[in-house]
Amino acid sequence: MDHYSRSARNTFSGLILSRKLPPDVPDFGQTSSRALYVVVRGDEVLFDATQSEPLLLAQNMLGGCDQDHLQAMLLGDDGRHCYFAVNIDRLPSGTASCLGSLGTFVPLRRHAAAMPSQLAALLGYARAAAGWHSLARFCSLCGHPTAPKPGALAQTCTNPDCGAQHFPRVNPAMIVLVHHADAHGERCLLGRQSTWNPRVYSALSGYVEPGESAEDAVLREVMEETGIKVDDVRYFSSQPWPFSDSLMLGFHARAINTEIYLDVTELEDARWFSRHEIPSLLDSGELVLPSAETIARHLFDAWYSHDYTDRG
């Protein structure tokens, strides 16, 4: 399987959308019947009242809500609809409560894996755009307020002597499933953070720092967090992670040594899990794997099914 196809299987990936404003949808869609708005509040998206379907608001659904202050952010056009994200956290309170009253806010992660993949990817994109929007209120060069740039996912500084344009930023992070095999069998290395749900163990991860490649970050983070040295680092797939504005770059890597020296400031625990004991640990609930919307789960499943290498 090629890397595009593998990444497209990750939740929030594979979105097919033209990211340019089409000529028939002017002024942020406010006069277009093709415009649909995704309303975002923090990590939540507006759903219908029964919480079964995300509510993509058309013009005629906005009703009495004040549309002059929507500050809609262009997402893109799929040929049928032109999509915009509305960050409710930055709206005047009257407009925000009016939009919020049209449905119910639901955590995106709770529903993402069960949604059609294109819809989950669209909502993830909207969440990422809104998250950036909340952090781009002021110009990082001169400190003046910013305003949406028409026809683009960008903010422009309102200071006429500055005028800087600010675009969404993506933070690269690596995530790696470390494995080891010897005469006793095959094992993988999983860690957990103290804030996670009980007994959840996952692949190791960390941000790529200035001056290093993604592969450099794999070697550094695994060594820092667990004292394990790795080689045979192999890229697997990537996933946009909208809740932290990250691009997760997924790898498998082979451990050279196996004795763990835990950095307790990073992880609460890290352990080797042998292939033969994993089914019984899952059955008993002693081990809980990351949920289906995460690339961490795909990395684990690929290792477990022996689908983790490009075979040279």
139 vs 270 by CB, closer to Zn ion: 139
Q: Binding pattern to Zn ion, positions 90-129, x when CB under 5 A?
A: ----------------------------------------
Residue 42 Rama label (left phi>0; alpha psi -120 to 50; beta): left
* Cβ-based neighbour number of residue 97 at 10 Å: 12
162 binds Zn ion (CB under 5 A): yes
Tell me which of 157, 178, 204, 299 binds Zn ion, using CB under 5 A: 157
CA gap 255, 54 in Å, rounded: 43
Binding of Zn ion by 255 (CB under 5 A): no
- Backbone dihedral region for residue 311 (phi beyond 0: left; psi -120 to 50: alpha; all else: beta): left
Q: Residue 155 CB, nearest distance to Zn ion (Å)? A: 10
Q: How far apart are CA 191 and CA 197, in angstroms?
A: 13
- Give me the least distance between CB of 165 and Zn ion, in Å please: 10
Position 142 contacts Zn ion (CB under 5 A):
yes
One-letter amino acid for residue 57 of the chain: L
Closest CB to Zn ion among residues 142, 170:
142
| Candidates 4-12, 45-53, 140-148, 280-288; binding stretch for Zn ion (CB under 5 A) | 140-148
Q: Which is nearer to Zn ion, 142 or 282 (CB)?
A: 142
Using CB under 5 A as the criterion, which residues of the chain lie in contact with Zn ion when the complex forms? 139, 141-142, 144, 157, 159, 162, 164
